[in-house]
Structure 1
Amino acid sequence: MNLLLATLATATALALHVPAQAGMEALEALEALDVNASTDDHSVNLPTSWWTYTNVTADQVGTFLSQNGARLTEIEVYSVTSGVPRFTVRMVKNSGAYAVPGWWWYYGLTAAQVTSYVNANNGRLIELEPYDIGGGQIRFAVVMVSNTAGAARAWSYLMGVSSAQITDHINSSGHRLIDLDSYTEGGVKKYTAAFVANTGADAKSWQWWINQTPASIASKVSSFQGRIVKLERQSNGTYNFIQVKNTGSDNSAWWYQYGFASMTDLNNYGLQVASRPIDITTYVDGNGARRYDAVFIDNANASTRRMRDLLGKTFLDANGNPTKGIFESYLKQVNGAVKVDLNSARRAETGSSVKALYLLHAMKQVELGLDTLNSAFTYYEYDPTRGPYICPTSSKEVAANERQAASFEAGLDQMMSISDNRAARGTLLRYGGSFSTLNSTAAASGMTSTTLRHDDGCAYWNPTTFRYDPASLRNDTTAANLAHLYEGVWNQSLLGSAHSARDEFLESANPTLGAGALQAIINEEAAKQGKTAQAAAFGALVRTWGNTGKYNTCLPDDNGGCGQKVIVRSGTGLVRLPVYTQGFQTYRDYAFGHLISDTPVPCWEDTETPGTNCPADVDYTQAHDAAANELWRDEVREALKTW
């Protein structure tokens, strides 16, 4: 394949010094994070929805794009069979700061066809992926955007060139790389590259490097104070990469990681640190295992970023990686905007916070006239020494162990107020004893990531087999799902106002008047506004509903024993903050959820040796509880402004 060079528009060249075959750095310039993705999405950190898919066909890519209202921002060839590729793709919502006037993607193109499509669409390449369809025949998969109106850029691209030719082009054009890939054709290493003019709003200090080890990448990123925007793994295990300066107004939180075992692991990492992948490369390693490397950029709003930084002090490791279990924070104004969204869609065990689903199901039956709250309620005493906190064992559900609450309403109150696992099990038995009943209610209520599999109180422990088995017994839900339940009750979409069931739900959900532990934050924020005198009155009007969860349990070893002690802590519910509107006192209503789950600890607080503290358990629990209160700081501040 001969050198193919296309340059569109013109640009003022910068004087550059480029070490041969090594890398380049543009002259220092006035630079900033991109305010939109008109150039590409590598330096945009405004929150947006994003998706990744791997090992998918072209038809599947089209379906996902349509379903998500998205556009492609990256395409990698996963594999090729009989000349037909399967793909790994990355996409973003085609709206807001990420919207473009038009865009297209193609695959199976020759070099000449790439140029033809660029010209026909008046397009600009943001992704140019070479691949071999067999027998050394090189084809290209591309993503291009319309190079018109506000998205118009002076730009260029190269295909089938050497690294020296890229260097020459950079020197002569003043363009900077935004995409770089290598491939072998006829035994010769060649490159594809896409550029934009390094001027105006697109001006950035930047470097590009080829044939680098992970250690050398880390060193070069550190010395340059850079942020990787393109990371390509070559067949020999070395990397080509592009980085931009990550200082001043171009600074953003960002991450990169090698060797994810699955796209799920990659996505979980990104969501845990409230980031968005901006580059993904996939390959089969030397052991024959599929791996993924990725670069991420911040995808959080200010409130979510604050919560990530706060929780990260305790729940990220020394390298800033999420190795200490799952943590989530979610806050949404009822019928309004999401205020905090930190990993809120990750399925996790929450302990007794999920009892709200038992309560919702019961109240739905009452609302439908299929049950009554003043009827009798039977539950079982499984072990008097453990009382309400027992893991229920069905073999002990015999007449001698039957207990009666004053009424079904009293039993539900007992389930919520003291987190009574016996009452939760009694509620399940009342409706047939199958978790599928509760799961159906969850699905019908929009809790699409909630699946119950075990009795509350058992925490991965199977009392029949005497084994820890989270794969089969984890109760999965999310912070967002739990908040959605409470929001649906409050706004009457899940329980209507025409029946008392909604009021009964709220009466059972631990209603509280007064700010409690939140008062300290109210006092701090009131003082900042010179409103210390109003702080107590504000706090006295705060109202809350909800429940919490707490587990000490184990992830199993190979024999089902306790391989790793872990803790689970959670909370969910509703909060009303008092505000003044046109001189009248009213409320802003919020639904929330927060949790830590499967957080590894060496011991549990005061359970192994009475009176002996476990510092790790204490530290993690206190960090979770402190963050639960901090979830409200920004909204408290805004509410106080109305006083």
Structure 2
Amino acid sequence: MKTAFHNEDTTMLGSIPQTRRLSTMLAASVLALACLAGAQPAQAALDATASTNDHNTNVPTGWWMYHGLTAAQVGSYASTNGARLTQVNVDSVVSGSPRFSVRMVRNAGSYSVPGWWWYYGLTFAQVGSYLSTNNARLIDMEPYDAGGGAIRYAVVMVSNTGTAARAWSYLSGVTQPQISTHLANSGHRMIDVDTYYVGATKYYSMVAVANTGADAKAWQWWINQSTAGVAAKVSAFNGRVVKMDRQKDGTYNVILTRNTGSDATAWWYRYGFTSGTDLINYANQVASRPVDINSYVDGLGIRRYDAAFIDTANASTRRMRSLHSSFLDSNGNPTIGIFESYLKQVGGTTKVDLNSRRRAETASALKSLHLLHSMRRVAAGTDTLPSSFVYYDYRSGTLTERKNACPDPSLETPANSRMDYNFETGLDQMMSISDNRTTRGSVIRYGGFAPFNATASLAGMTGTTLRHNIGCAYKNFSTGKIDPANRRNDTTAADLARIYEGVWDSSLLSNTNNARTEFLESANPAGSVAGTALQTIINEEATKLGKSATVASQFGQLIQRWGKGGSYNTCLPDSNGGCGQKVIVRSGTGIIRLPIKVSGVTSYRTYVFGRFISDVKTGCWEDTNTATIECPADTNYTAAYSKAANELYRDEIRLALMTW
């Protein structure tokens, strides 16, 4: 084991005395720098753990980003989440107390460290004192003006012991040439860089680690770059951004890591998010984790965020992400709409998790909640399926026109009342032909949306809120306007799947009074048939595995499915509440069972799923009943969704076929 030693000296920089602490490894090699380019070691690989820092680790983990927090709130969130801070930014100072933007990762698995600490309001000397007391090293250091030109530091440090021990260094109150000289002499690579001003004079702070062994990276750092300049440096280096420091003139200092070979990973960076929520939604949509966040106020006084992201998807989720490329703009950004895919083995692990907890509209797929609530009442003995059932017709016309109509409570008059179904038939119609009338009938029966939301809460559906009659999209009857802010039914792919897992494993629905059986009978059982699109995938995977066409056919005939789909053509509002942007929603949720062979005997693996596209901008809608009204955008997006819907199961189909 190599031995570390510490060396301290004090340097006068201008009129500001600063302490520089260096920690170097004995016999460490020194690598030269060219201009601002980092050293180019022969070894480069993604980090298996985040012991050094989390910039180059793409192992999936829980992560959080918060903004505008007090120090007490930072500590509370870290404790609640079982997390540790990996970055701290000072957004502002209010009455002497900073407000923070922070990144956290779950302090477990590949991201666990022996110990960690964060502090703020420190002088540079105090930073050194805490490092010595904790036997720690910095992973993030932010200088900020605490008021009156007094420079203080907010820092995150981790224990520098055991397997987390690293040779490392940090500087502050220095110039770019001084940093370059230090890096050349030490053989370290930077993991953090920031600028700050004392009067009109700009200074730099930085944190670095020894660029050797498992930490060896091909890297560069650049200062005073425009956004175009950053893009050019990234392209020329085949790199990815791991740190971006925005200066007050709008230019950037960046640290790049080579993104080739064993160090290659999918990654993204983007400027100017207008909220932390937008940043989080972006990260989840592309199944990534932010490795750096930059918080600042722009020239218009608007708080904005820049961020760099690293791919944290598993192989199946990554494949599903690629199948949704139609829903990205020309720059690869997920701005066209929302898409989610979720697949979980019942009683087992999650297989696909693509943005599965983003709240969005899913149209009739959410009718599974109405069915769950109704069957729980049946199981409890407070309702019965043979009992009479009241629903309403909201327009005249064909059955299709009537059952697809938006339920307007003002039309719920005695003349429009219908009692030709009992409750069981009403629920069957709700699920089998997606009847909006009988769905509304169940809401009337139980006195509004509150009981359904209570069931969702009990079921652990934390992203679900029913606030509108399904079939009415975003229409607000009280104002006559399109109003998604108040009339959107929110749910998530994971929440939709949760309904079916809870029914299948009986945790949400017992079979008392035959309730569980009746739920599954209403939930569109597909019988023992794969369907054409799914059978095509089965045939392809069987061929790859050297299985016969007979095996593929038998496999497909044994697949079992239940579920509910949904579809909307609706609008996002303009400034007057009119149709400002036409969008589509397509959704599906349910259960799929794949046959496996255990000692030659057929058994099953059972999975639950939720998937949808929501608020996808089209500009028009396809009219399948009128040949002259065509909308290629709608058709193409719907086709892309349908393809991805079946592809969700491909990897698990392959694994199941391997048992045959």
Tell me the equivalent position of 2:237. Answer: 224
Contact 1:405–1:411 (8 Å) recurs in 2: no
Tell me the equivalent position of 2:8. Answer: none
Tell me the equivalent position of 1:427. Answer: 442
Q: Distance in 1 between matches of 2:167 and 2:478?
A: 69
Task: Check if 1:266 corresponds to 2:279.
Answer: yes
Q: Distance in 2 between matches of 1:535 and 1:181?
A: 59
Contact 1:82–1:133 (8 Å) recurs in 2: no
Please, which of 96, 118, 125 is the counterpart of residue 109 of structure 2? 96
Alignment map for 1:595-606 (pairs within 5 Å) = 595-606=612-623
Contact 1:13–1:175 (8 Å) recurs in 2: no
Tell me the equivalent position of 1:322. Answer: 334
Task: Check if 1:512 corresponds to 2:512.
Answer: no
Tell me the equivalent position of 2:28. Answer: 12
Task: Check if 1:387 corresponds to 2:440.
Answer: no
- The share of aligned pairs that are identical, in percent, is 61
Per-residue deviation at 1:122? 1.2
Per the normalisation by structure 1, the TM-score is 0.98
Q: Deviations over 1:55-78 (max 9, x none)?
A: 101110111011100000000001
Per-residue deviation at 1:28? 4.1
Tell me the equivalent position of 1:396. Answer: 411
Task: Check if 1:627 corresponds to 2:636.
Answer: no
Please, which of 577, 580, 587 is the counterpart of residue 570 of structure 1? 587
Tell me the equivalent position of 1:332. Answer: 344
Partner AA of 1:145 in structure 2: V
Q: Distance in 2 between matches of 1:316 and 1:46?
A: 24
SS in 2 for 1:29: coil
Tell me the equivalent position of 2:316. Answer: 303
Tell me the equivalent position of 1:135. Answer: 148
Please, which of 496, 499, 507 is the counterpart of residue 482 of structure 1? 496
SS in 2 for 1:281: strand
Partner AA of 2:381 in structure 1: G
Q: Distance in 2 between matches of 1:54 and 1:472?
A: 25
Q: Distance in 2 between matches of 1:183 and 1:559?
A: 45
Greater shift in the superposed pair: 80-89 or 42-51:
80-89
Please, which of 222, 235, 249 is the counterpart of residue 209 of structure 1? 222
Q: Distance in 2 between matches of 1:379 and 1:392?
A: 10
CA spacing shift, 1:273–1:369, aligned 2, 3 Å: same
Tell me the equivalent position of 1:540. Answer: 557
Per-residue deviation at 1:343? 0.4
Tell me the equivalent position of 1:178. Answer: 191
Q: Distance in 2 between matches of 1:566 and 1:552?
A: 6
Per-residue deviation at 1:499? 3.8
Per-residue deviation at 1:2? 2.4
Tell me the equivalent position of 2:362. Answer: 350
SS in 2 for 1:2: strand
Q: Distance in 2 between matches of 1:30 and 1:111?
A: 34
SS in 1 for 2:206: strand
Please, which of 52, 63, 67 is the counterpart of residue 54 of structure 1? 67
Q: Distance in 1 between matches of 2:31 and 2:480?
A: 72
Alignment map for 1:344-493 (pairs within 5 Å) = 344-385=356-397, 386-432=401-447, 434-463=448-477, 465-493=479-507
Partner AA of 2:538 in structure 1: I
SS in 2 for 1:405: coil
Q: Distance in 2 between matches of 1:441 and 1:553?
A: 27
Q: Deviations over 1:87-111 (max 9, x none)?
A: 1000001111111111111111111
SS in 1 for 2:139: strand
Contact 1:126–1:143 (8 Å) recurs in 2: yes
Contact 1:13–1:171 (8 Å) recurs in 2: no
Q: Distance in 2 between matches of 1:294 and 1:492?
A: 43
CA spacing shift, 1:189–1:464, aligned 2, 3 Å: closer
SS in 2 for 1:377: coil
Q: Deviations over 1:524-576 (max 9, x none)?
A: 11111111231111111110001000000001111111110000000000011
SS in 1 for 2:329: coil
Q: Distance in 1 between matches of 2:84 and 2:463?
A: 25
Greater shift in the superposed pair: 418-427 or 512-521:
512-521
How many aligned positions are there?
A: 638
Q: Deviations over 1:226-268 (max 9, x none)?
A: 1001001111111111001011110011111111000000000
Q: Distance in 1 between matches of 2:247 and 2:130?
A: 28
Per-residue deviation at 1:582? 3.2
Q: Distance in 2 between matches of 1:495 and 1:534?
A: 35
Alignment map for 1:163-202 (pairs within 5 Å) = 163-202=176-215
Partner AA of 1:475 in structure 2: N
Per-residue deviation at 1:463? 4.3
Contact 2:380–2:512 (8 Å) recurs in 1: no
Per the normalisation by structure 2, the TM-score is 0.95
Contact 1:14–1:27 (8 Å) recurs in 2: no
Tell me the equivalent position of 2:567. Answer: 550
Partner AA of 2:571 in structure 1: C
Partner AA of 2:32 in structure 1: L
Contact 2:379–2:511 (8 Å) recurs in 1: no
Task: Check if 1:522 corresponds to 2:545.
Answer: no
Q: Distance in 2 between matches of 1:527 and 1:487?
A: 31
Aligned-residue CA RMSD (Å): 1.3
SS in 2 for 1:44: coil
Contact 1:424–1:456 (8 Å) recurs in 2: yes
Greater shift in the superposed pair: 616-625 or 397-406:
397-406
Per-residue deviation at 1:14? 3.3
Q: Distance in 2 between matches of 1:15 and 1:556?
A: 58
Q: Distance in 2 between matches of 1:27 and 1:502?
A: 62
Contact 2:583–2:616 (8 Å) recurs in 1: yes
SS in 1 for 2:396: coil
Tell me the equivalent position of 2:11. Answer: none
SS in 2 for 1:597: strand
Q: Distance in 1 between matches of 2:657 and 2:640?
A: 25
Q: Distance in 2 between matches of 1:295 and 1:642?
A: 42
Per-residue deviation at 1:310? 1.2
Q: Distance in 2 between matches of 1:554 and 1:103?
A: 48
Per-residue deviation at 1:332? 0.5
Task: Check if 1:76 corresponds to 2:92.
Answer: no
Contact 1:577–1:587 (8 Å) recurs in 2: yes
Q: Distance in 2 between matches of 1:555 and 1:135?
A: 47
